[in-house]
Structure 1
Amino acid sequence: MTRPQIGFGAFISPLHPHGENPTLQLWRDLDLVRWLDELGLAEAWIGEHHSGGWGTISSPEVFLAAAAEHTRHIRLGTGVTSLPYHHPFHVASRIVQLDHQTRGRVMLGVGAGSAPGDAHMLGIHPSEQRRMTGESLEAVLELLAGEGPVNRATDWFTLRDARLQHRPYRPGGIEVAISSAASPHSMQLAGRHGLSPLSFASPRPGGTVPDLRRQWQYAEEAAAAAGRTVDRADWRLVVNVYVGESREQALEDLREGAAAWLRGYFGDIVGLPVDALGIEPGREIEYLVETGTAIIGSPDEVAAGVEELYESSGGFGTLLVAGADWASRENTRASFERLARFVVPRFNGSLEGFEASAAWVRENRSEFVTQAVGAFQKAFTDAGVTAPSLPVTEPAGAGSR
């Protein structure tokens, strides 16, 4: 079977349970990005949070600047910069500087902001966030294009003869991605402006699984109306993934952390009615698997889950593993290593040459063995020595050319 070509990375919100040293949590996140770079994963996205106690990174750009010094190849993205929280000039100027500091490895991920406490502290009403996102996005894109001075005025920001001194590091500019959950808004912005959609493929606790095929249609429809096209290869899906030695071991690795995430963060902090879902205490991780919130199991099971997601969505370019801090540091690193060793190669084409070579040798092994034995015996004969008799048996299932 021909497998889809998929890239892999990580989307690190990050969300960390209470009780740990927050300084060390930052270090652990930085160390994880370094580890992902060593493993050869393509991307790491870092989020922005200012309230709630679980999200410990308030400036993705500052974090990514540090991560760039500890990595060599991995692309680094803001996942995401909440546009209503910032003046668009600062968003554009910071990301271009970071683009130069990383020699073109940076990506700008943007969104409306998802934490109600963050918006409240900044005096932003939730009903205004999507409008503000659209207004800011247009200004940021115009500034990044660098085609002339930007003049814009809204009820919350003004740009007067604004232009960036830096231009993006590469001629093609900086890739801009926009996050999407369930509403059409972000996918429509992606299609209208030619951005890379970044969709959350998992439901929130108690929610329904997003209709990913319909989500993509929103982008296609908006792109067509704007005279553009969109490419599924630019579409990123975010989902919780954990690769264990076995499904049973994986579930046990995650049991305590998933319960804390579901009940402690979404239930106690966010206020979602988790208890009303009827989840048996201690079986939270099974609930998350059954509702499609996570792909968990052995390498074979995870690979099958990724293929199923690919088919159900209609196809995408990159899968981003959500960093939810469900497992210990050691087990999280081990899961990503299994992902890189046993799952990623099934989807990036790196095994095709080895599989073809193995099939070719297997198909011709009878002839190869016969030639090798004949050459061995000839060496004895040429030396005037009686060659030992070597049995040549046809391996089971051997073929011939």
Structure 2
Amino acid sequence: MADGREPTHLAERGTPPHNDHTGIRGLAAGSAPVPLSVLDLAPVGSGRSAADSLRTGVRLARLAERRGFHRYWVAEHHAMADIASSSPAVILAHLAAHTRRLRLGSGGVMLPNHAPLIVAEQFGTLEALAPGRIDLGVGRAAGTDAATTAALARSDDAEDFPQLLRTLLHFLDDDVPEGHPHAGVHAVPGRAQGLDSRPPVWILGASENSARLAGRLGLPYAFAHHFFARRTVAALDTYRACFRPSALLDKPCTLISVPVLAADDVREARRQLRTSALAMFRRRTTGRSAPIPTPEEAEAHRFSTEDEELLRARWEVVVHGAADEVRAGLDHLQKTTGADELMITTSAHAGETRLRSYELVADAYGMPA
């Protein structure tokens, strides 16, 4: 605040510095070719707790705001020992209380896990608390294993997601039509109570099916490049080909999530990458998740020849190395895909490693300190 007072109301904290309440097309910071953003999977390292990870998230959100990253999203995962982001709405409310301008959102809410009315009310509440800076990214995946999926009592009918999405949009816009099973029901807080804006909805996906849906509805599309790098170009091409202008967008808008690890040199970056790689291999082998091991534990682990090949393949997907190498890799990826925004996600054992990585990326692009 100009007079030095600490804002006491989240709406005061959250008032954006401009009139764009969608945040769809942000300005690139520094010398970045497109806006850079943050995807936080809230990784949990061995010997550390979920509380430690969530505290690192607050520090990372503040760093992102200070350095000029465009938005900060958190993902939904369940019953995973190495990921603490089971409840995006709760985490986002906490982050809104510790930031002033940064856009905050879900990357995403797994819609079949929830009733659309609950999601509309949760994000209407967030919009009331931090007006003009909330995004609602929704996806279809469970975000967990088969046993936990069953415990969530979700539907896995592929036909359900488009219908759930349309119902969610009706609740957000307060325009449930007559004859609809939920006619007369209003999301509170929401438009019916005078909420000036509602969060823009993004479709998250990892396939051409999600790309078609996003394009036909005229919604922005976020692709999980960090999971399915080989499908990225085809999915984005499909989205653009299927796009129909809507009230929200007059032309396609794409974002891709990119795994990144910047360090002082490539050797240190690869040393840190081995920690998340070992966690991934253990989950694949045992079917159970465990906290991310330390770099020392990962260095001591003897990977099989086959696993070493998988590790090298992972190094090809993760943009890693010293700051200038990471910048070159991100610029090349943006040119290759034509993405309108790059959302960086960094997984490592220690929160300090993650924070350092984002600082180095910001330095590489000359983003404000």
TM-score by length of 1: 0.72
Is residue 241 of structure 1 aligned with residue 264 of structure 2?
no
Is residue 80 of structure 1 aligned with residue 108 of structure 2?
yes
Identity of aligned residues (%): 23
Is residue 289 of structure 1 aligned with residue 315 of structure 2?
yes
Gaps (5+ residues) in structure 2? 1-30, 290-302
**1:13-55, Cα deviation, whole Å (9 max, x unpaired):** 2332454222222222233222222222111111112223233
Residue number in structure 2 paired with 1:195: 219
Residue number in structure 2 paired with 1:268: 286
Q: How many residues align?
A: 321
Residue number in structure 2 paired with 1:8: 36
**Residues 215 and 259 (structure 1 numbering): CA distance in 2 closer, same or farther, change over 3 Å?**
closer
Residue number in structure 2 paired with 1:355: none
Match for 2:320: what amino acid?
I
**1:194-226, Cα deviation, whole Å (9 max, x unpaired):** 21111111346xxxx323232123223332499
Residues of 1 paired with 2:82 and 2:264: CA distance?
A: 29
Residue number in structure 1 paired with 2:296: none
Residue number among 352, 360, 363 corresponding to 1:330 in the alignment:
352
Residues of 1 paired with 2:103 and 2:202: CA distance?
A: 13
Match for 2:202: what amino acid?
A
**1:272-313, Cα deviation, whole Å (9 max, x unpaired):** xxx888123xx87544113x2x00012221111112211221
Check conservation: 1:192, 1:226, Cα contact below 8 A.
no
Q: Secondary structure at the match of 2:135?
A: strand
Residue number among 155, 166, 173 corresponding to 2:189 in the alignment:
166
Compute the displacement of 1:62 (Å). 0.8
Gaps (5+ residues) in structure 1? 154-158, 351-401
Residues of 2 paired with 1:106 and 1:276: CA distance?
A: 45
Residues of 2 paired with 1:78 and 1:228: CA distance?
A: 18
Note the 1:103-114 alignment, pairs <5 A. Answer: 103-113=131-141, 114=143
Note the 1:300-339 alignment, pairs <5 A. Answer: 300-313=324-337, 315-324=338-347, 326-339=348-361
User: Which has the higher Rg, Structure 1 or Structure 2?
Assistant: 1
**Residues 162 and 26 (structure 1 numbering): CA distance in 2 closer, same or farther, change over 3 Å?**
same
Match for 1:179: what amino acid?
L
Q: Secondary structure at the match of 2:44?
A: coil
Check conservation: 1:107, 1:176, Cα contact below 8 A.
yes
Check conservation: 1:243, 1:335, Cα contact below 8 A.
yes
Match for 2:204: what amino acid?
S
Note the 1:23-172 alignment, pairs <5 A. Answer: 23-113=51-141, 114-117=143-146, 118-124=148-154, 126=156, 128=157, 130-147=158-175, 152-153=180-181, 159-167=182-190
**Residues 25 and 276 (structure 1 numbering): CA distance in 2 closer, same or farther, change over 3 Å?**
same
**1:93-136, Cα deviation, whole Å (9 max, x unpaired):** 1111101101221100101123234321123354x1x3222111
RMSD, matched Cα: 2.9
Residue number among 205, 208, 231 corresponding to 1:184 in the alignment:
208
Is residue 217 of structure 1 aligned with residue 237 of structure 2?
yes
Residue number in structure 1 paired with 2:17: none
Q: Secondary structure at the match of 2:189?
A: coil
**Residues 88 and 150 (structure 1 numbering): CA distance in 2 closer, same or farther, change over 3 Å?**
farther
Residues of 2 paired with 1:320 and 1:333: CA distance?
A: 15
Q: Secondary structure at the match of 1:27?
A: helix
Residues of 1 paired with 2:288 and 2:209: CA distance?
A: 23
**Residues 106 and 279 (structure 1 numbering): CA distance in 2 closer, same or farther, change over 3 Å?**
same
TM-score by length of 2: 0.77
Residue number in structure 1 paired with 2:300: none
Residues of 1 paired with 2:86 and 2:195: CA distance?
A: 27
**1:227-256, Cα deviation, whole Å (9 max, x unpaired):** 997645x3111111122222223222333x
Residue number in structure 2 paired with 1:253: 272
Q: Secondary structure at the match of 1:187?
A: helix
Residues of 1 paired with 2:342 and 2:366: CA distance?
A: 10
Check conservation: 2:113, 2:153, Cα contact below 8 A.
no
**1:314-373, Cα deviation, whole Å (9 max, x unpaired):** x1121111242x24222221111111122364xxxx9xxxxxxxxxxxxxxxxxxxxxxx
Check conservation: 2:44, 2:349, Cα contact below 8 A.
no
Check conservation: 2:124, 2:198, Cα contact below 8 A.
no
**Residues 246 and 230 (structure 1 numbering): CA distance in 2 closer, same or farther, change over 3 Å?**
farther
Name the one with the larger helix percent.
Answer: 1
